[in-house]
Structure 1
């Protein structure tokens, strides 16, 4: 299911959403210039490797990958997929939260997604990278804030459906829960994807979004 557009227009230019997208694309251009070996080395330093935090004392700076990992991606399809979803849903959240609150919300969801992955797979030695957890937080907030929105969805090979946003996002969340649960018993059964990071990010977005909404302007009688 590939979302093509949503029905909720933006009231302001989504500066933070566009900046996050541009930053992720610029970083991936840099990654691509390093070659395979360079990317592997970069991921080992700035990607999130849970095992690094399960072996005793860890210096404070070593926790940086909980933040930096959400700005790294493993392939063009990985970064384009994440940034496309952010473009579709992030602009409306930025409208409702304001620019400063939106970036704090986005980063908070990404960090909580990374923590979820760590707690589910504390002994994993594979670096995890990608904005999926933070983007899942955006999806979780959109799921609750824009229930009446619709998402034009392409279902290969040639079906188009104008689905209610809660159906599209709810189905996506259920697939993550299913694959995340299956992966506990059969590693990589649904692919080498950090499904629990997605689940953690989605839930974080649902729980936290109210804390970041702009305060309603008071009404004055004139």
Structure 2
């Protein structure tokens, strides 16, 4: 319904992890069989695409029944996408909102947060769909955790977005409105209420669980003070300089309470 393209929310350091994750996702997609399949792939290519998704995707039924590796497919599935729209949509949201969350958490913390958010949302979807045998792929669950963190940390940040049904008219609105709308659009009940048919190929529950996880995590662990989000010290941040102090020369001579260095 809306396409965010920019936020007015500067960062204090380069967003190395955010951009690295975007590059990694693009490289993995370009190296797979789906990137250059065309609009109407033949049967042989389609079979290779399905084999690729099943090999690297996370299959809910297998995650819960104890067969196979319970960790590796959850990780690889975060970097596999089912098409260009799937990839570009995810990377756009990560590009717009990921850098500020990385700035608050720090690089190593943000990377761990991203991976854990993707893993937890994948298992949440598996628990909600224990008999599903289709492959779950994409970075949506991890990025949903980033969105949940962002809406808590920066609810009033101004986000520029395009509105397709208004001929892509650019608008600037607060982040809570953009991401709040995104969140409710992931709820099947809301989709039915407004008469929008949700895609059966989209793991909406993974989006919802990732978003809630990210929001609760930063609310409980990071917090937000009156002047903005708290920032935890991290290994990649330079140490803070010691505070400047002005020496008190008055104590040097009791007979001269103001001191000869008084200004």
Give the Cα separation in 1 of the matches to 2:90 and 2:75. Answer: 16
The TM-score normalised by the length of structure 1 is 0.88
Give the Cα separation in 1 of the matches to 2:209 and 2:190. Answer: 11
Give the Cα separation in 1 of the matches to 2:71 and 2:191. Answer: 27
Does the 8 A contact of 2:185 with 2:191 survive in 1? no
Q: State the Cα RMSD in Å.
A: 2.4
Shift of 1:51: 1.6
Question: What is aligned with 1:177?
Answer: 187
Instruction: Flag the structure with larger Rg.
Output: 2
Question: What is aligned with 2:123?
Answer: 115
Shift of the 219–206 alpha-carbon distance from structure 1 to 2, 3 Å rule, reads: farther
Give the Cα separation in 1 of the matches to 2:126 and 2:190. Answer: 13
Shift of 1:211: 3.5
Does the 8 A contact of 1:93 with 1:138 survive in 2? yes
Q: Identify which of 107, 120, 126 aligns with 1:99.
A: 107
Question: What is aligned with 2:76?
Answer: 68
Does the 8 A contact of 1:31 with 1:38 survive in 2? no
Does the 8 A contact of 1:51 with 1:124 survive in 2? yes
Q: Identify which of 73, 79, 85 aligns with 2:87.
A: 79
Alignment of 1:1-222 (within 5 A): 1-32=2-33, 35-55=45-65, 57-59=66-68, 61-156=69-164, 157-178=167-188, 189-191=197-199, 192-209=201-218, 211=221, 213-215=231-233, 220=243, 222=245
Mean alpha-carbon deviation: is it higher for 206-215 or for 170-179? 206-215
Shift of 1:206: 0.6
Runs of 5+ in structure 2 lacking a partner? 38-44, 223-230, 235-239, 246-263
Count of paired positions:
215
Structure 2 residue matching 1:71: 3-state secondary structure: coil
Structure 2 residue matching 1:85: 3-state secondary structure: helix
Runs of 4+ residues over 4 Å off in structure 1: 179-182, 216-221
Runs of 5+ in structure 1 lacking a partner? 183-188
